[in-house]
Amino acid sequence: MDNHTMTVSAVSPEMDTVDELKLKIEQLQKENAGLRQDLADANIEIEAVVDEFQRTQVEIEQAKKDVERAKEQAERANNVKSAFLASMSHELRTPLNSIINFSKFVAQGVMGPVNDEQREALGEVIDSGKHLLSLINDVLDMSKIEAGALRLFMEDNVNVTTLLESALSTAKSLVADKPVDVTLEIEKTLPLIRADRQRLLQVMLNILSNACKFTEKGSIRIKAHNNDDTVVLSVTDSGPGIAKEDQAAVFEPFKQTDTGLRQGGGTGLGMPISRKLAEAHGGTLWLESQKGEGATFFVAIPVTKPATSPSA
Amino acid sequence: MSNYPAILYVEDDARSARIMKMLLTGTMNLQHVNIFEESSDFIERVEALSPQPDVIFLDIHVKPYDGFEMLQMLRAHPNYRNVPVVALTASVMNEEVEQLRVAGFDSCFAKPLDIDQFPDRLQRVLNGEVMWYILS
């Protein structure tokens, strides 16, 4: 009210009360008009803000729709990819059935006598066929993972012991006649776990086939124990070991270590796939090794934790 | 020649059918092996078999009825409700195997068929075992 006080004091004392009042009213009217103007300006500003807000909302709605559409498109593309990979798998496997099995029948002498040289050549056809089959499986698995299209089929009450016994018998046949002792050691109180049985077996077979490939003599020890609601599976071999600087490459697709390339002949996809599969179980896969001292691969799977889809 | 088990296999791929025939009648010396190369009049033809099959192998991509439809027909028939039915398929991506499991197949054998393991696996299926270990 300072303004009013000043205005009043500026008025001459001779002025009569009516004039004074008139003047005051005029002043007040002016101020009122000013306030009205201010209010109108403020209203315009508010309206502008509201407009802006509404425009933003429309834009957000539009963006939401765009995202939704993009998501649908991505899902459609993924379904197409999945269907393509599934049909590729079928189309590639069917001729391999003929290649491998007709060669086996001929090699067995079912179609007449075969000499040693012929049998050996047929053995090469069979081995190459099997190798091709494993490459096809790996490439298709990797494609599925990268497309985000791999799904697990989780079951409750998966018995790790049964699974490892099956892996053990495969490992024994893989070391064949090398002086390698394959053993299985399972903790008695191992709980049943929630897992995709087939995929977990695949992980263990991948690890074991590497161990068998690289271990010329000594031992391969398969173990399983329970550790704080996590079942830890491990495979320890007495092979050449993996140098620290090569260890990361083991889990990168299409990157094999020098030793791997010399001895392996695989795609180098087995371990990257296995790690993704372990992660999809809510678990982890890692290795501990020193050059010249063998290697241990660990797979830790939570006993109850639900799984998610693996991402690329 | 062995009388048991009697086997029915439905397979439209001539090479796959021939492999199975060589395996069952040749290597395993089984006497009662029937192969349907398509699935028209499916149930009628199964009913006409003598002896009746102890186990049935179905390829999935068969016409006019696919493996799933044949399985349904078998399960709806009082005589075949409990006969083991095994999917024998090259479609073994996980999703497809899950579909087979949900549909009610008793087991799944993957193509390429592991002919060395086959006799043992067949015996296990006949003993009522369920086998979804398609990796070999």
Q: Which residues of B touch A86 (CB under 8 A)?
A: 91, 93, 95-96
Q: For residue B19, what are the domain limits?
A: 7-126
- Shared-domain flag, residues A138 and A191: no
Is B135 contained in some domain?
no
Give the gap in angstroms from C-alpha A196 to the nearest C-alpha of chain B. Answer: 10
Of residues A82, A91, A93, nearest to B112 (C-beta):
A93
Task: Choose from B60, B93, B98, B101 for mutation: most chain A CBs within 10 A.
Answer: B93
Least confidently predicted of A133-142, A165-174, A277-286? A133-142
Q: Is B12 on the interface with A (CB under 8 A)?
A: no
User: Residues of A numbered 86-115 whose beta carbons fall under 8 angstroms of chain B's beta carbons: which are they?
Assistant: 86, 89-91, 93-94, 96-102, 104-105, 108, 110
Structural Rg of chain B based on CA atoms: 14
Give the pLDDT of residue A1: 47
Model ipTM value: 0.91
In tens, the pLDDT along A146-186 reads 877 777 888 888 999 999 998 998 899 889 889 999 999 99
Domain that holds residue A240: 155-302
| Neighboring chain B residues of A101 at a CB cutoff of 8 Å | 19, 23, 112-113, 115
Does the pLDDT at position A10 exceed 60?
no
Give A184's strand partners. A222
**Phi, psi of A219, rounded to the nearest 5 degrees:** -145, 155
| Nearest CB partner across the interface for B90, out of A93, A99, A144 | A93
Q: Across the interface, do A97 and B15 touch by the CB < 8 Å criterion?
A: yes
3-state secondary structure string across chain A: CHHHHHHHHHCCCCCCHHHHHHHHHHHHHHHHHHHHHHHHHHHHHHHHHHHHHHHHHHHHHHHHHHHHHHHHHHHHHHHHHHHHHHHHHHHHHHHHHHHHHHHHHHHCCCCCCCCHHHHHHHHHHHHHHHHHHHHHHHHHHHHHHHCCCCCCCCEEEECHHHHHHHHHHHHHHHHCCCCEEEEEEECCCCCCEEECHHHHHHHHHHHHHHHHHHCCCEEEEEEEEECCCEEEEEEEECCCCCCHHHCHHHHCCCCCCHHHHHHCCCCCCHHHHHHHHHHHCCCEEEEEECCCCCEEEEEEEECCCCCCCCCC
What percent of chain A has a predicted confidence (pLDDT) above 90?
58
pLDDT digits (tens, 9 = 90+) for B18-46: 999 999 999 999 999 999 999 999 999 99
Determine whether the interchain pair A94/B19 forms a contact, defined as Cβ–Cβ distance below 8 Å. Answer: no
Q: Closest to A198 (Cβ–Cβ): which among B15, B23, B135?
A: B135
Residues A133 and A171 in one domain: no
- Across chain A, mean pLDDT equals 86
Write the pLDDT tens digit of every residue in A212-260.
999 999 999 999 999 888 999 999 999 999 999 989 989 988 776 655 5
- Cα(A236)–Cα(A242) distance, rounded to whole angstroms? 12
Task: Let me know whether A88 and A189 are in one domain.
Answer: no
Identify the CATH number of the domain in which residue A241 sits.
3.30.565.10
Strands A193-195 and B7-10: unpaired
Residue B1 in any domain: the answer is no
Q: Are A94 and A200 contained in the same domain?
A: no
Domain termination residue (choose one: A112, A131, A149): A149
Interface test with A, best of B57, B66, B135 (most A CBs within 10 A): B135
Phi, psi (degrees; rounded to nearest 5) at A13: -70, -20
In this structure, is residue A310 part of a structural domain? no
Nearest to B134 among A97, A166, A198 (CB): A198
B2 lies in some domain: no
Residue B121 maps to a domain: yes
Q: Say yes or no: A168 and A270 in one domain.
A: yes
Q: Chain B neighbours among A 35-64 (CB < 8 Å)?
A: none
First and final CA of chain B: distance in angstroms? 29
In a domain, B132, yes or no: no
Look at residue A311 and tell me whether its pLDDT is greater than 70: no
Quick one: closest CA in A to B95, which residue? Answer: A151
Chains A, B: CB pairs < 8 Å: 83
A225 in a structural domain: yes
Give CA–CA dist B28/B25, Å, rounded: 6
A121 & A185 share domain = no
CA–CA min distance A89, chain B (Å): 7
Q: Tell me: do A264 and A291 sit in the same domain.
A: yes
Query: B55 has which bridge partners?
Result: B7
B134 domain-assigned = no
Q: By the 8 A CB rule, do A86 and B96 touch?
A: yes
Asked if residue A163 and residue A89 are part of one domain, the reply reads: no
Residue B85 has pLDDT above 60, yes or no: yes
Structure confidence by residue, pLDDT tens digits, B35-79: 999 999 999 999 999 999 999 999 999 999 999 999 999 999 999
- Name the more confident of A270 and A15: A270
Strands B7-10 and B33-36: parallel
Task: Please tell me the distance in Å from A54's CA to the nearest CA on chain B.
Answer: 46
Same domain, A182 and A234: yes
Minimal-distance CA residue of chain B relative to A198: B133
For strands A284-289 and A230-237, give the pairing: unpaired
* Contact yes or no for A205 and B135 at CB 8 A: yes
**Is residue A312 domain-resident?**
no
The answer to whether the CB atoms of B113 and A97 lie below 8 A apart is: yes
Residue A244 lies in a domain: yes
A123 residue type, one letter: G
**Which of A125, A149, A173 is the last residue before a domain boundary?**
A149
Pick from A239, A241, A240: nearest CA to A287: A241
Give the CATH number for residue B19: 3.40.50.2300
As for how many domains chain A has, the answer is 2
pLDDT, residue B136, reads 43
Distance in Å, alpha carbon of B78 to nearest chain A alpha carbon: 31
Specify if A308 maps to a domain: no
Question: Looking at beta carbons, which residues of chain B come within 8 Å of A166?
Answer: 133
Chain B closest-CA separation from residue A310 CA (Å): 14
- Contact at CB, B13 and A199, closer than 8 angstroms: no
Burial class (CB in 10 A: 0-12, 13-18, 19+), A294: buried
Whether residue A45 is contained in a domain is answered as yes
* Domain match, A139 and A178 both: no
Q: Are residues A129 and A59 in the same domain?
A: yes
Do A85 and A122 belong to one domain?
yes
In a domain, A31, yes or no: yes
B17 part of contact set with chain A, CB < 8 Å: no
Q: Which two tokens stand for residue A101?
A: 């099995």
Closest CA to A190 of A160, A163, A168: A160
Given A149, A170, A186, the domain boundary residue is: A149
